[in-house]
Amino acid sequence: MQKDFKEETPRSDIKQDQIPAPIHRRSLFTRWMNSLVQMGLGESLLRIGTNLFSIIAIGIVIMLVQAFYRQTPNTFSGNSAQASGPTPTAVVAVGSIPAVDVPVISGIARGAQIHTNIPSRPRDEITTYTVLEGDTVFGIAERFGLEPQTILWGNYNLLLDDPHSLNPGQELNILPVDGVYWEWLGGIPFGQWANFYGVTAADIIEYPSNNIDPNTVGDFENANIKTGTWLIIPYGKREFISWSAPLGVTRENPSSARVMGEGACGPISGGAVGYGAYIYPTNKHYLSGFDYSEQTNHRGIDLAGNEGEAVYASDAGVIVYAGWNDYGYGNMIMVDHGNGFQSLYAHLSALNVGCGQSVGQGEVIGAVGSTGRSSGPHLHFELMAGAKVNPWDYLPPP
């Protein structure tokens, strides 16, 4: 240890000022650093030194960048004359300005559109549509931009004004406009026939899709049009031809029910009378088919139900019809409630009651089915009081 110390001690024969400056400073710096390390400050000093070096480096970079941009000419700055203050405006003759050829782009520039709408021309002829599984009168009408009744009025021979008659595979006439499609059979003045549908003779004769030459028909009111000609009656209207059960079937006068089929009953006296408040005739309180719609001549509601589920009397009363119906209802029951109201239950798979029987409110009278003109199991339910009324107005909330 003593030997090492002596070797590190500066020689006496060498003067201090003869030691090279870098070596002298390095020795002092080394001893200083060693002293700091021995005091436990080495790590802290290292962090301080690193941070100080980073700050100095960033400052140098900033100075270099500023120097670079000071040397780069500013292409957006004004000229020296503008910077020094306003100068007189030079007068330039228009004729001295050189002409510049500007390219002319033909057409109108349009921005790209993500969505393209393909316009459709208005139809001017009758088209045909093949009914698909799941189609409804409302859906078909919406597809062609027509009112739902136009689908029925354009296809009476096929649908008989009954939306239940719609079946897959049928070919429907689709009119180009809302209105009626009907056969001219003569027998009355043509003008009177047109008035029946709420239009004039001219509306029909001059409608282009009817392909009638106005010069050949003579007087429009007594138009010379061949009988058997099918004509579009644009924007015409007519009453629906009833496919449903006749009204006024009461226990005292059931004769009107005889036209409906073999389920008609004879006169009945006495029997249960209803409360005037109605309950749901099925376990399910929502639709599975058509809703009440005067537009499509559907004057009842199709309540959901599985084949064979119970059907209940909506109110107390007497059975005035029980059996098969020839109007498309299949197996049907009608209850007269004795207070001016009757209720009707159609497409039944089974009947639990017979003519003249009194039933209480909520009593099982039959079973849900799909008989008659039906697209699947459900209960067609109607309420009548001199006219068919909307059952939703009388049933409690679902």
Domain with residue 188: its CATH number is 3.10.350.10
Do 161 and 197 sit in the same domain of this protein? yes
> Among the listed ranges 90-104, 213-227, 373-387, which one has the minimum average pLDDT value?
90-104
| 134: pLDDT strictly greater than 90 | no
Task: Specify if 228 maps to a domain.
Answer: yes
Q: Which residues contact 259 (CB under 8 A, 6 or more apart)?
A: 246, 326
Type and span of the H or E element at 95 = none
> Among the listed ranges 14-23, 119-128, 303-312, which one has the minimum average pLDDT value?
14-23
Do 180 and 299 sit in the same domain of this protein? no
Averaged pLDDT for residues 221-226: 93
Pairwise CA distance, residues 287 & 390, whole Å: 14
CATH of the domain at 325: 2.70.70.10
7 pLDDT band, cuts 50/70/90, is: very low
pLDDT value of position 36:
63
Averaged pLDDT for residues 315-332: 90
Sign of CA dihedral 322, 341, 360, 290: positive
Task: Specify if 61 maps to a domain.
Answer: no
DSSP 88: P
Do 216 and 261 sit in the same domain of this protein? no
Do 289 and 217 sit in the same domain of this protein? no
Do 306 and 364 sit in the same domain of this protein? yes
pLDDT value of position 9:
44
| 13: pLDDT strictly greater than 80 | no
Residue 76: HSE in the Cβ half-sphere, 13 Å Cα cutoff: 0
Do 220 and 266 sit in the same domain of this protein? no
Do 203 and 274 sit in the same domain of this protein? no
Contact of 281 with 313, CB cutoff 8 Å: yes
Do 315 and 370 sit in the same domain of this protein? yes
pLDDT value of position 264:
83
Do 230 and 269 sit in the same domain of this protein? no
Task: Specify if 372 maps to a domain.
Answer: yes
Task: Specify if 80 maps to a domain.
Answer: no
The alpha helices in the chain, defined as continuous H runs, are: 2-8, 21-38, 42-71, 80-84, 137-143, 148-153, 156-159, 190-196, 201-205
Domain that holds residue 212: 127-234
Contact of 234 with 179, CB cutoff 8 Å: yes
Do 377 and 263 sit in the same domain of this protein? yes
